[in-house]
Structure 1
Amino acid sequence: MLNRRSFLRNTALGLTGLGLATGLNTRCSTGRSPLKTSGESAKLLVSNPDRPAPATFDRLPLSWYKATAKKLREKAGERGLKAVVLQNPWNIIYFTGLFHSSTERPFYAVFPVDEEALYWYHPGLDRDLVTSWWSNENEYYFDFLHSEGGHPEKGEITVGKTVDLFEWLLNGLKKRGFGESGIGFDTEFPASKLQKAKNILPKATFQDISDICLKMRMVKTPEEIALTQRAMNYFSQIQAFARDYILEHGTEATDFEVAEAARAFGVDLIMKDIKRDGRPHTAVGISVGISCRTGAATAYPHPNQFFHKKIERGDALQVSGVVRIGGYGGELYRYYQIAPWDAHREKLWEVVTECVHIQERESRAGKTCAEVAAAIHEYQVKMGVAKYIYHRPAHGAGMEGHQAPWLALGDNTVLEEGMMFSVEPGLYDPENGFGYNPSDNLLVTREKGVIMSSVPYTKEWMFLKL
């Protein structure tokens, strides 16, 4: 347990500072001076030789996307297909590298199986993004809903028939010679959509290839792993900043303030290293989402209230979030207990922490998701905390956050090297107004799961006296 008073004395810090250590000049919500912390918590971060080396690049190179798309085309070819159509935004980003916003506007990427080419069918507002990236040819509609012949950007203002943009895509495929071919889509069509496809391309066949796409995304390549590790290294420093901030500002701070300060620190920390010129395709896939909740809000897995509460002695407190670079990264949560606490809280915290280590030990290639989940749940039940269990221990981790497979009793997927998972064997006691839920990014290897952050799972780190 760390005492706030001794922490401040040992580091010769007062409650006010003259700016973030990284140079950001922001003010916290209470109006105190710009933020600064001692950096003492960073000294407690732990090294692990099993962790992969972090990437030195800010995003995956175009050559990686082209090689990955080639593998997709080969797998589609093995099923007798001649074209692949992607419409899931995560699949589009993964296989083409085009980071873009997903809205109600349909966006399609088309790969011919037998040639290295990429054709786009997309909304007009993204035309500069598309043509300045990997694109052999592109066609676009003005906007959703699109009027036939209506292109104000070309001086053509037509109030006419509303274009069915799925039929527009199908006609585009016909023009490209796929009218009598096997075409793979990364989704299963509902009956109405399948009927449209058969009406426009009666001699074509349609196959759902979402399983191919998902399987490729589930098992990460060395480049993806390295970029994830870089993001997790930054996130570990952000968590260290948040811990310092809690110790230095104590009960004068709100959970909202902790989160905002940590996010500001994290953005500055990351962006000073990102090469960028303000134009598209640099500084992509970057997110720094930090949250903090203290007290009763920790007692619920997915609370629905806004977090803006003063930190109080006796609170459970969670600092959580997701950090990504180039689309890669993961979750990192730490579950603090502010003094005083009782034996009940200490026991639940200890059970949660041991379950983290069980997941580490059990998450090796060849095990099933269900087997790992069962080992964790069996320990929880053995320790007499069954009533505090609310969810599975973890989910698969990918660009979209939650990704298959699931560390759940009903998922018999076999773990493979390169899969990634969250680490969330949380326990919750709403009756007493507290809960502890960790998370991390865990990499499956041949021997065990490797925790990718360097933030300790110790009482020294998480039991604090303010």
Structure 2
Amino acid sequence: MTTSRGDFIRKMGAGLASSRTSDSTLAAARHGDGQESLTSGNSERLLHQDPDHVEPAPVGYDRLPLEWHQMRTRTLKECLADCGAEAVLLNTDQNIVYFTGCFRGSGERPTWSLFPTQEEDTVYWYSPGIDRDLIESWWCTENEYYFGYPHAEGGFPNRGQVVQGPTVDLFEWMLQGVRSRGLGGGTIAVDWSLSESQIASVSKVIPGTRFVNVQADCLSMQQIKTSEELRLSQRAYRYFDRIHAFARDYILERGTDLTDFELGQALQGFGIELLMNDVIADGRPHSAVGIEVTSNYVRAGIASAYPHPNQFFYQKLERGQTMYVNCDIKLGGMGGECYRNYLIGPWTSEQERMWEVVAETIQIQEEESKAGAVCSDIAAKIHQHQVDAGMAEYIYHRPAHGQGQFFSGHQPPFIALGDYSVLEENMTFSMEPGLYDAARGIGINPSDNLRVIADRGVRFSSVPFSKEWSLLEL
């Protein structure tokens, strides 16, 4: 293999089609002749792994196994023993995927998963027919499904029954299924608060049944990450490190002959190829799940000065402005954010000072995010530093949110003035003490995924917050 990193990047500049071709070349280089990565230029040599990083999950461990989800369900039942629940009934997609491991979204089609507490490792589904193959090929003791939404009574075209029956109340339909299993009349733990109409349906179908909202218990389990979750996230961030090194090399190679859109497409194509070279994917359900490399918020110039922009990004990179490499990565639903901002020379003293203040507050968050710390206290120290540095008018948001898994990107608690939650070991947080100056057309808001340990926070990524990394001369 004689293709250089520069040749590889120049080929990608020809467009997305060339990008895919070049990614295939990269795959051959990594797994064929044994030579080092085509992106192992100066940028990869600047990466630095923290000695407190957890050991990444090995290749082949691409998602949490079924046994992990069953174990978490057993733990939930144990946590709820005092409330005397005869069953746990889940309705939210986030909780359903966390406790069952079946990756799917409900949309407007309601889904329920029922776990009788006196049965071990059983789950009964009440679900839309569109997902029957997904559900029944995973962890499924039994699946009762309705055909469509709205569902007509007796209407199952897949069974040859084209019936225009009355519209079915699906909540009552599910309650009838619960009753048929001998449940009802006691306590059922659920992950939502019932509406008045749902309470009326309970009185009608299974009178005397008490529904207890245990969403707080479900959330608490998800906030403290298990070793398996942490190791899978760490593996995702090993890919993230190389994606950011690739993006930096791409900027240096292409210079002002580059749009933010093209950079985003290139790093996404590179990242997906990088992951999929290692992921077991046979095209069937339940493999290669929860995989994501986003690029839709990569943006150049003035668009970086808005924390939640609403414009499409298609701007040429220019000297004297910023490039915001903003992307997320997930592997098996585990991962999070990793953003970096670049100042393209010549930069102004105002731009450099804003970058410095953000870097200083990143360090504050790392130092203060220790077990036992209070979210509000950390936020106050970060905001006070911003204010003392003369940046008050450029502050738009809290410094961080809890980092969730699966469908939950933002997860409590929050590093915010109004959140008095206490940090616990193995909570994870974003890192976003951003500053934005629309008048000068600059915004700096790097992020990462921070794990709380006893005496500090540990970033998952190995991508530096340094001027050597972020201040570029083209």
- The secondary structure found in structure 2 opposite 1:323 is strand
Distance 1:104 1:17 in 2: 45
Aligned residue number for residue 277 of structure 2: 272
Check the 8 A contact 2:320/2:348 in 1, yes or no.
no
TM-score by length of 2: 0.92
Aligned residue number for residue 372 of structure 2: 366
- In structure 2, relative to structure 1, the CA distance for the partners of 1:351 and 1:16 (3 Å cut) is closer
Distance 1:412 1:19 in 2: 48
Aligned residue number for residue 459 of structure 1: 467
Shift of the alpha carbon at 1:461?
0.5
Aligned residue number for residue 84 of structure 1: 88
- The secondary structure found in structure 2 opposite 1:139 is strand
Structure 2 residue corresponding to 1:177, chosen from 160, 177, 182: 182
Tell me the amino acid that sits aligned with residue 283 of structure 2.
Answer: G
Structure 2 residue corresponding to 1:167, chosen from 160, 169, 172: 172
Aligned residue number for residue 112 of structure 2: 108
Distance 2:195 2:105 in 1: 24
Aligned residue number for residue 449 of structure 1: 457
Check the 8 A contact 2:39/2:246 in 1, yes or no.
yes
Distance 2:286 2:39 in 1: 34
Structure 1 residue corresponding to 2:429, chosen from 408, 421, 426: 421
Distance 2:430 2:200 in 1: 40
**Alignment of structure 1 residues 93-104 onto 2, 5 Å:** 93-104=97-108
Shift of the alpha carbon at 1:25?
8.3
Tell me the amino acid that sits aligned with residue 446 of structure 2.
Answer: P
Aligned residue number for residue 29 of structure 2: none
Aligned residue number for residue 51 of structure 1: 53
- The secondary structure found in structure 1 opposite 2:255 is helix
Runs of 4+ in 1 over 6 A off after TM superposition: none
Check the 8 A contact 1:364/1:417 in 2, yes or no.
yes
Aligned residue number for residue 199 of structure 1: 204
Aligned residue number for residue 241 of structure 2: 236
Distance 1:86 1:306 in 2: 38
Shift of the alpha carbon at 1:433?
1.0
Aligned residue number for residue 330 of structure 1: 336
- In structure 2, relative to structure 1, the CA distance for the partners of 1:146 and 1:232 (3 Å cut) is same
Check the 8 A contact 2:76/2:218 in 1, yes or no.
yes
Tell me the amino acid that sits aligned with residue 426 of structure 2.
Answer: G
Distance 1:12 1:196 in 2: 64
- The secondary structure found in structure 2 opposite 1:410 is coil
Shift of the alpha carbon at 1:39?
3.3
CA shift digits 1:98-142 (9 cap, x unpaired): 001331111111100111111111111111111111111110011
Matched-pair identity in %: 50
Shift of the alpha carbon at 1:288?
1.0
CA shift digits 1:409-466 (9 cap, x unpaired): 1001100001000000000001111110010000011111001100000011000111
Check the 8 A contact 1:416/1:444 in 2, yes or no.
yes
- The secondary structure found in structure 2 opposite 1:227 is helix
Unaligned residue ranges in structure 1 (runs of 5+): 1-10
CA RMSD of aligned residues (A): 1.9
CA shift digits 1:247-283 (9 cap, x unpaired): 1001010000000000000000000100121111110
Structure 2 residue corresponding to 1:350, chosen from 353, 356, 367: 356
Aligned residue number for residue 214 of structure 1: 219
Check the 8 A contact 2:12/2:266 in 1, yes or no.
no
Check the 8 A contact 1:363/1:415 in 2, yes or no.
yes
Shift of the alpha carbon at 1:28?
5.8
Tell me the amino acid that sits aligned with residue 77 of structure 2.
Answer: R
Shift of the alpha carbon at 1:12?
8.8
Distance 1:19 1:306 in 2: 22
CA shift digits 1:347-394 (9 cap, x unpaired): 110000010010000000001111111111111111111111100000
Distance 2:252 2:291 in 1: 28
Shift of the alpha carbon at 1:37?
5.2
Aligned residue number for residue 70 of structure 1: 74
Greater shift in the superposed pair: 259-268 or 337-346: 337-346
- The secondary structure found in structure 2 opposite 1:202 is coil
Greater shift in the superposed pair: 262-271 or 130-139: 130-139
